[in-house]
Amino acid sequence: MKFAVVILACVAAASAQYNSGAYNPFGNQYRNPYKFQPTPAPYRPYRLPSSTPVYTPVVYKASTPSPVVPVPIAVARQVDARNAQIVKFGNEANPDGSYAYFYETDNGIAAQEQGTPRNFGGNPPVVPVVAQGSFSWTSPEGEPIAISYVADENGYQPSGNAIPTAPPVPAQIARALAYVAGRGAPLKK
């Protein structure tokens, strides 16, 4: 133990002599006061020439989005998806927490969503956002795909022509399930 204390004291003494003075409040006592130290340049705001027009932002208010049921867009020409341009766009966020947005591109992609907070009460209050919306696009085969959804306290519930459906239950399995349901719990004697 004594050996560890001696080694620790030696390490502390060795590290103290290489201190740059960054944390030491007395480390600046041997610094040369006449050494050149650059000062930061004073702040000078940039002024536009008078002939340059000044940019004034334009505030667009989003119009009410179309109904939740999407309308597939017929694409007249094949457009490269990497260079798609936005044809319509709207975005609205209200102070009460509700929102709505929609967009449509020239290659047939469209989406929209509306959301409103729903107060379920409680302590602390539970106020999730309930959203409903849709999106649509044209598949590479030329088939219009449309998905509508609701996202609320029951989770995300999509519906549409591109969502896979489960195969029908085989007759043997259905018969076995009916047999099990008919028997119920075993009777106690």
The model scores a pTM over 0.85:
no
Tell me if 16 is assigned to some domain. no
Tell me if 12 is assigned to some domain. no
H helices of the chain, in order, are 2-16, 171-183
| pLDDT per residue of the chain (189 residues) written in tens, 0 to 9 | 788 878 877 777 666 665 555 555 555 555 666 666 566 666 666 565 555 555 555 554 545 544 555 555 554 455 567 788 889 999 998 888 889 999 999 888 999 999 988 887 777 877 788 899 999 988 888 888 999 999 988 889 999 988 888 888 899 998 888 888 887 655 555
Q: DSSP for 93-134? A: E-TTS-EEEEEEETTS-EEEEEEEE----TTTT--PEEEEEE
Task: Determine the Cα–Cα distance for residues 132 and 148; give it in Å rounded to an integer.
Answer: 8
Tell me if 181 is assigned to some domain. no
Look up the domain containing 88 and give its range: 81-160
Structurally, the chain folds into a number of domains equal to 1
